[in-house]
A and B are shown apart, each in its own frame.
Chain A
Amino acid sequence: MTLEAGSSLKTGSGTGTSSIGSLFKALNSGTTTSRQIVESCLNAIDQRDGSIGAFLHIDRERALQAAEASDLRRSTGEVRGPLDGLPISIKDAICEAGQPATCASRILEGYVSPYSATVIDRLHAAGAIPLGRVNLDEFAMGSSSENSAYQLTHNPWDLTRTPGGSSSGSAASVAARMVPGSLGSDTGGSIRQPASLCGIVGLKPTYGRVSRYGLVAFASSLEQIGPFSLDVFGAAALLQTIAGHDPHDSTCVNTPAEDYLQTLDTPLADLRIGVPKEYFGEGLDPEVQNIVEEALAVYSQHGAKLIPVELPHSKYSVATYYIIAPSEASSNLARFDGIHYGYRSPNFTDLESLYAASRGEGFGPEVKRRIMLGTYALSAGYADKYYVKALQIRRLIRHDFDAAFQQCDVIAGPVTPTPAFRLGELTDDPLAMYLSDIYTIAANLAGIPAISIPAGWTASGLPVGLQLQGPVFTESRLLRAARMLEIDRPWIDRLPPAAGG
C-alpha cells in the first residue's frame, strides 16, 4: 500500500519523506530513526522548496533536538503514539510560543507568539515535531497562495499552477514529500481545496471538534484546524491528537475524541452514499466529473449504494458565505490597530489616523476587500438585508444536509470544479476566485465534517480529489470510507514531478 519507508530514506536525496503510516512502521521496526526522518525532510526542503515556496520559517536545530529526544524515548520504550518523532509543518496562522506567526501578512511581520495554540501543545505532548511555518493566503483569505504578502507557493504537480489555498504551504509541503503531515485551517475549503489540488488527504473536522485557541481568527463561526497527510492513517492520527475539549475555546465541544485509528481498517458495510445532483451541474469540468464518478464506482463495487439526494440551497452557499465570513473578518481584524502588536505606520497625526494608516498600509488587497465587504454588510441600514438574511439562508443550508442525511450516511462529490488553475489566472477577478469554493463552503456554513481524498489524475497529470461530507461528529465514518478507496486504489506511490516522480 505505501512506499517502503526504509528505501526512500536510504536514497536521501531521492524521494524525500514518506507517509505517516509507513514512517510509524519503520520507526517501530527499528529500520529508521526520528533523526533520520527529520534529516531527510530538511534535505528535501533544501532541494525543493526553492521552487515550491511552501516554507516561511524553519527551525532546524530545535527539530533535530526534538528528534533526538524522541529517539531516546523510543529506546526506553516510552513511545507516545503514532506521531512520536514525526515532523509536521504548521500553517503560519497557528501560534506557537517563541515562533513567528505572520499569517502571511505585512501587518504581522516580525511578530513572535507569546503563547501556543492548544493544537501545538497537543502535538508536542504526542511527540510530534513542528518543523516549520508554511505559507498561506494572507489571514487565510484566498484559494491560491497569491494573497500571501511574502511569496507564491507552487503546485508540486505543475509548478506553473496554484497548490490551492488558503493552506497552500501545508498542502504543497506534504505533496512534495518535504514533510509527512501538516496542520492547516479550513474556513470555506482552505484544507480540502489545496489537498484536492495537490493529491493528498485533507480533513475539515466538525465545528467544535478541535480547539481554535491560538488560531489567528478570521471567521470564528466557520473555521476549524485540521490535518493534511499523504495517507488516511496520518490524517486519523493527527486528528486524534488535536481533537477534544479545551476550556480555552468555549465553542470546542465537551465530548471526548474518538479512537479514529481503532476502526480505520474496517470497511463500512452497506454504506449509503448520497450523490447531490447540484454538485454535478454546470461549471464542473468534465474530466473532474469522470474521475469523481469513477471513484464512486469503486464504492459501488464494494457494496455501497449510491442514492440521489437534493441540496436545493447549494446554489446560494457562495453568496451566503461571502457575506458571513467577511462580516466576521471585519470584526476579528479590528484587533490590528498598530498599538498592541504588528505594523505601525509612521504616517499619522492622531490616534484615528494611526489606526487607519497602519491598517491601510499593513493589510493586502484581498484582506482590505473583505473587511470593506463585511463592514458594509454590517453597517446601519444594511445588516438585515445582507447579514441577517445570510444567517437565515445558512440555517436552510444546514436543514438541506439534515434532510439528506436521513437518506444516506455520507454525501460525495467533487472538491473543486476544476483541477489546479494557473497562478495568475484568476487574480483579476475576485468573484471568479470565490466561485472556485462552491463545493466546499456549505460544510463550513453547516458545521459538518468533510474530507478530501485523492480520486485520480487528469490526462495532463493533475490530481483530483473526492469530497466526502458527513453529519456532525462522523469523522470516524469519513476516515473509514476514505480508507476504503485508499486500499482499493492506493495513490501514495505516485510522486509529483517536484519530488522526483
Chain B
Amino acid sequence: MTEPQQATKTSPALPLSDVARIARLARLKLTENELAIYSNQLGKILEFMTVLREVDTTGVEPMISAVPCENVFREDLIVESLPRKLALANAPKTDGKSFLVPNILG
C-alpha cells in the first residue's frame, strides 16, 4: 500500500504547523511527506465536516451511547487474574517480572 502522492488542491489544507501539533498530541512520529499528505487530506475532510454547522442543535443533549450508561457493580470477590507470565508474553522487553521502558528520569 502506498500513500497517494496527490491530494485535492481545491480544498484548504490544514496548516502544517497544526498537523505537526496534532501528531505530537497523538504521539505519532510522521515523515515530512506524511505531514504534507495529511495537511491536504485532513483539510479536505474537515471542510466536508462544515456541513454540520447548518444543523440547529440548540438544546439537544449529546448522545454518547446508544444504551443508557449505568454503573455496573459486581460482587466484591477475589477472582483469578491474568497470570504474570501471560501478561508479559507479548511485551517487546521485560525482565520476567515487569515491562521494561527507557530511563524516564533525566
Seen from chain A, the residues whose Cβ lies within 8 Å of a Cβ on chain B are 110-112, 114-115, 146-147, 149, 206-208, 221, 247, 250-251, 253, 313, 315-316, 318-320, 322-323, 330, 334, 337-344, 348-357, 359-361, 363-365, 368-369, 371-373, 375-376, 379, 386, 388-396, 398, 427-431, 434, 445-448, 472
Of the candidates A221, A247, A372, A472, which one forms a contact with B65 in the assembled complex, judged by CB atoms under 8 Å apart? A221
> A395 near B63 (CB under 8 angstroms)?
yes
A67 CB to nearest B CB, Å: 28
Name 13 A/B residue pairs within 8 A (Cβ), A-sorted: A147-B1, A221-B65, A247-B72, A247-B74, A322-B49, A339-B99, A356-B28, A359-B26, A369-B38, A372-B26, A386-B49, A393-B55, A447-B65
Closest residue of chain A to B67 (Cβ to Cβ) is A208
Contact of A354 among B23, B52, B74, B102 (CB under 8 A): B102
Task: Determine the distance from Cα of A338 to Cα of B49 in the docked complex, in whole angstroms.
Answer: 33
A206 — which chain B residues lie within 8 A by C-beta?
Answer: 66
B82–A115 contact, CB under 8 A?
A: yes
A110 to B18, CA, bound (A): 35
Measured CB to CB, the closest approach of chain A to B14, in angstroms, equals 8
Contacts of B41 in A (CB 8 A): 369, 430-431
Q: How far is the CA of A472 from the CA of B46 in the complex (A)?
A: 32
CB of A368 within 8 A of CB of B49, answer no
Question: Which residues in B have their C-beta under 8 angstroms from that of A315?
Answer: 51
Q: Which residues of B contact A251 (CB under 8 A)?
A: 65, 67
* Contact assessment for A428 and B92 in the assembled complex, using a CB-CB cutoff below 8 Å: no
Known A-B contacts A147-B1, A392-B62; A357 and B29 likewise in contact (beta carbons under 8 Å): yes
Contact present for B38 and A372 (CB under 8 Å): yes
Specify which chain B residues have a CB less than 8 angstroms from the CB of A352 in the assembled complex.
Answer: 27
Query: In the complex, given contacts A350-B104, A392-B55, what are 4 additional A-B residue pairs having Cβ atoms less than 8 angstroms apart?
Result: A372-B19, A389-B52, A393-B57, A395-B63
Interface residues of B, Cβ cutoff 8 Å to A: 1, 3-4, 6, 8, 14, 18-19, 22-30, 34, 38, 41-42, 44-46, 48-49, 51-53, 55, 57, 60-67, 70, 72, 74, 82, 86-87, 89-93, 99, 101-104
Partner of A431, one of B44, B72, B74, B104: B44
B90 CB contacts on chain A under 8 angstroms? 110-112, 114, 340-342
Interface-central residue, B23, B24, B104, by most chain A CB under 10 Å: B23
Q: Which residues of A contact B60 (CB under 8 A)?
A: 392-393, 395-396
Residue B66 contacts which of A146, A207, A351, A360 (CB distance < 8 angstroms)? A207
By a CB distance below 8 angstroms, the chain B residues around A149 are: 1
In contact, A379 and B25 (Cβ under 8 angstroms): yes
Name the contact of A356 in the complex, choosing from B18, B27, B74 (C-beta under 8 A).
Answer: B27
Cβ–Cβ contact B91 & A339, under 8 A: yes
Smallest Cβ-Cβ distance to B83: which chain A residue? A114
6 smallest A-B Cβ distances: which pairs?
A: A447-B66, A391-B62, A360-B29, A341-B90, A344-B92, A395-B63
Is the CB–CB distance between A114 and B57 below 8 Å? no
- The CA-CA distance from A303 to B39 in the complex, in Å, is 54
Write out the residue numbers on chain A whose beta carbons fall within 8 Å of the beta carbon of B27.
334, 337, 352, 355-356, 359
Find the A residue at minimum CB distance from B58. A392
Complex Cα distance, B44 from A360, in Å, reads 22
- B52 x A320 contact (CB < 8 A): yes
> Using Cβ atoms and an 8 Å threshold, which residues of chain A touch B86?
114
